[in-house]
């Protein structure tokens, strides 16, 4: 990784985001993958920001977090689904609780504007980016995060 390019941690349960960002935005930014809370926390030191997917359905239950930290296992199916579907938010809450205050971008579509405002206020600095955002718009968000 180049010391001249800002580094962003990409927290997702696969590799689709990090591959796409490296391919199309890698000339300007470095992207470091993290597949769960522990990897995100370890990678976030010195990062320009954290990019989070919302849904982590492919993550093994023992690597999920809940509102208090690592989720107690075993998990019943309903609890596992609830945690997986909101894992990006829960990971960001844990990062904030650990004192990691770098800018974050959460890739999610929320129909409820009040929910969106609440998350942006309580997990600041946070930008929620909808799924229809293009690469040029994402690059603009990353540049804004770096410029602070």
pLDDT tens per residue, range 47-101: 999 999 999 999 999 999 999 999 999 999 999 999 999 999 999 999 999 999 9
Residue 31 pLDDT more than 90? yes
Q: Rounding to the nearest 10 degrees, give the CA dihedral for residues 145, 140, 51, 32.
A: -90
Contacts of 122-128 with CB under 8 Å at 24 or more apart are: 123/89, 123/92, 123/93, 123/96, 125/101, 126/92, 127/103
Residue 45 pLDDT more than 80? yes
Residue 24 pLDDT more than 60? yes
The pTM assigned to this predicted structure is: 0.95
Q: Do 72 and 78 touch, CB atoms closer than 8 A?
A: no
Residue 2 pLDDT more than 50? no
């Amino acid at each position: 990784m180049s010391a001249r390019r800002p580094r962003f941690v990409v927290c997702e349960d696969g590799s689709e985001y990090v591959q796409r960002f490296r391919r199309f935005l890698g000339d300007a930014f470095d992207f470091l993958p993290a597949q769960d809370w522990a990897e995100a926390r370890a990678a976030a030191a010195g990062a320009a920001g954290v990019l989070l997917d919302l849904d982590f359905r492919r993550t093994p239950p023992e690597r999920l977090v809940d509102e208090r930290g690592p989720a107690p296992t075993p998990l019943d199916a309903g609890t596992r689904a609830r945690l997986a579907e909101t894992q990006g938010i829960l990971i960001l809450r844990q990062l904030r609780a650990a004192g990691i205050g770098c800018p974050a971008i959460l890739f999610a579509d929320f129909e409820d504007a009040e929910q969106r405002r609440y998350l942006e206020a309580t997990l600041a600095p946070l930008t929620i980016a909808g799924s229809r955002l293009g690469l040029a718009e994402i690059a603009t968000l990353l540049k804004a995060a770096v410029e602070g």
